[in-house]
Structure 1
Amino acid sequence: MSFYGKFSEKDLIESYTNQIDYQGKPDKEIVEEILKRGTLEDFQAKIKAKNLFLAEQNRMIREIHSHYMNKLSKQDCLSLISSDLLPDKTIQFLVETKYNQIHQNVENLKVDSKTLINTVIGTVIASIISSIVIFVSLYNFIFLMVFNFFLLIPVYIINYWMIRLITGKTRENPAVFIGSFIATVLNCIYFFVLYQTIS
């Protein structure tokens, strides 16, 4: 059995396409496997159909994005989009899925007063909690003092997840990103003050 003998049709198409893209021509072995399953013309026709399907899907996604940004409802969006290639069920699924994804991304990036207030609250709470976690860890495991600078990495991660939990937004949101950084700076200040107090 050849190397490509166990490949599914999808894997075979992907390998063939990659070889054309990067080598300019397919390997002899992959062509032999394709010919065992049918003709090269039929195989290439399947690739063309797949590319047309993907191009149509991408066109529709751009349309959905445009309609969303023009503040059209999901139903309006669905009524305006049509396709000669895709069945109605696929169009409906695509509109539902992509409309929701775009909405989530836009909402995630939004910096409004609620986000700012929650970020400030989250920054203070996160810096205090992460500092307590690190202080307790250092107290119980003195050997960690050697890695004190590298402890900023887990501190930053704790801060980020706390702020994310409070704001409901990810680090793609500028306020959350800045809040996580400020919380980590506050950790450094707490460490410095504690060190001065102990000294």
Structure 2
Amino acid sequence: MGFYSNFSEEDLIESYTNQVDHQGKADNEILEEILRRSSLEDFLNKIKTKNLYQNEKNRLIREINGHYVNKRSKQECLSLISSTLLSGESIRLLVNIKYDQIHQNVENLKVDSKTLMYSFVGTIVASIISSVIIFTILYQFSFLSVFHFSLLIPAYIINYWVIRLITGKTRVNLAVFIASFIATLLNCVYFIFLINYS
């Protein structure tokens, strides 16, 4: 039994394609496995069919994106998209998934007054929570005090997750990114204050 004998057809296609793309040709062992299962021509036809379907899906995704940008509803988008390769159910599934993903990405990037307000509140709350956690760790494990400024890294991570929880947006949102950074600067101020007055 060869290396590729336990590969699924999908894995075999992926391996073959990678070898051809990176080395210019497939190695003998993979070719032997392909010929053991079927003919090379059948295998290449499967790759061609797979690529056709993937290209068609990519085309539809671009159309979905265009319809979203033009402020069409999901239902309008669904009624305007058609394909000769994909079934109606596949198109419906693709529209539902991709339309929602595009909407979430756009909403995630949006910086509005609500996001700014929640980011401000998140900055204060996060810096307090992370400082309490870090100070508690330093109190419990005093030997870590030599690394106190290195603890700004976990403080930043805690700040980010608290702000993300409060705003409902990720760090690709500019307000969330800045709020996490400011909260960490506040941690730094708290640390300096603690060091000077302890």
Deviation at 1:195, TM superposition (A): 2.0
In structure 2, the partner of 1:3 is 3
What is the RMSD computed on CA atoms of the aligned residues? 0.8
Q: 4+ runs of 1 displaced by more than 6 Å? A: none
Q: Equivalents in 1 of 2:127, 2:2: separation in Å?
A: 59
In structure 2, the partner of 1:17 is 17
Q: Are 1:56 and 2:56 counterparts?
A: yes
Q: Are the aligned partners of 2:124 and 2:183 in contact in 1 as well (CA < 8 Å)?
A: yes
In structure 1, the partner of 2:185 is 185
Q: Equivalents in 2 of 1:6, 1:193: separation in Å?
A: 61
In structure 2, the partner of 1:94 is 94
Q: Are 1:195 and 2:186 counterparts?
A: no
Q: Equivalents in 1 of 2:142, 2:182: separation in Å?
A: 26
Q: Equivalents in 1 of 2:119, 2:32: separation in Å?
A: 60
Unaligned runs of 5+ in 2: none
Tell me the alpha carbon deviations over residues 154-191 of structure 1, each in whole angstroms, 9 at most, x when there is no partner. Answer: 10011001101110111010000000000000111111
Deviation at 1:196, TM superposition (A): 2.0
- Aligned to 2:169, what secondary structure does the other structure show? coil
Q: Structure 2-normalised TM-score?
A: 0.98
Percent identity (aligned): 68
Superposed counterparts of 1:111-122, under 5 Å? 111-122=111-122
Query: What is the one-letter code of the residue matched to 1:178?
Result: I
In structure 2, the partner of 1:106 is 106
Q: Equivalents in 1 of 2:23, 2:152: separation in Å?
A: 46
Aligned residues between the structures: 198
Q: Are the aligned partners of 2:149 and 2:188 in contact in 1 as well (CA < 8 Å)?
A: no
Unaligned runs of 5+ in 1: none
Q: Are 1:144 and 2:109 counterparts?
A: no
